[in-house]
Amino acid sequence: MEFTTEEFKVMDAIIARYPRIRSAVMPLLHYVQSIDGYITPRGIKAISEKLEISTAEVTAVSTFYTQYRSEPAGEYHVGVCINTLCAVMGGDAIYETLTDHLGIADHETTGDGKVSIERIECNAACDYAPVVMVNWEFYDNQTPQSVKDLVDAVRSGNPPAPTRGPKSLRTWKQNSAVLAGLSDGLANEGVSAGEATLLGLKIAKGGK
């Protein structure tokens, strides 16, 4: 099935931002992922035709970066940081708890399609370890129990707000559209940098 006329117009608008059209490959991948939920053959074909490059080139980019999925993600994709600091602070225990609680493993999705999980090497939020991300939104200072509560709330249709960022949790597809550069109007909501993140700056300026 082809993309719609309106979807092709959005692709054209994304491409128009760049002086070299092939530079649009990454936002276009996010955009087709926002429609299909993952990088599908039709998405790769459409991008290759729009950018006048081979499907192999598009596939190479989509398989290099971990934010692009080659299989369907859940409506809420949970990334558990298992890198050194998060692991020491409880990330490994959080991951094991989630797999047991949900009955799925890395890169798998629950039967209802609501939740998928992924082991992440770093979520770039060591000051709030252990951290998980849901659809790339931060949930800081987590515990095995708090993460169980988080995924249960998500599956019940009542996802809690991220610790930082927007005041409501958007779906996987919605946030993929944001990563493609389409504004959801939520950029200025919530706290972007918390106290722990700003502590070093405060000390450098002579604060206590």
Backbone dihedral angles phi then psi of residue 141, each to the nearest 5 degrees? 50, 55
What's the CATH superfamily of 76-171?
Answer: Glutaredoxin (3.40.30.10)
3-state helix, strand, coil in the chain (%, to 5): 50, 10, 45
pLDDT at 88 over 80: yes
What's the mean per-residue pLDDT of the chain? 93
Model pLDDT, residue 208: 59
Q: Hey, where are the domains in the chain? A: 5-64, 76-171
Helices of type H across 52-184: 55-64, 84-86, 92-102, 144-155, 172-179
What number of H helices and E strands is found in the chain? 9, 4
Are residues 139 and 162 in contact, defined by beta-carbon separation less than 8 angstroms?
yes
Model pLDDT, residue 196: 79
**What's the pLDDT tens digit per position in 169-208?**
999 999 999 999 999 888 877 777 778 777 777 888 876 5
**What's the pLDDT tens digit per position in 13-28?**
999 999 999 999 999 9
Q: How far apart are CA 118 and CA 82, in angstroms?
A: 10
pLDDT at 136 over 80: yes
Q: Residue 135 in 3-state DSSP?
A: coil
List CB contacts of 187: < 8 A, sequence separation 6 or more.
none
Q: What is the largest CA-CA distance in the chain?
A: 61
Are residues 138 and 128 in contact, defined by beta-carbon separation less than 8 angstroms?
yes
Domain 5-64 grouped into CATH 1.10.10 = yes
Q: What is the mean pLDDT of residues 111-115?
A: 96
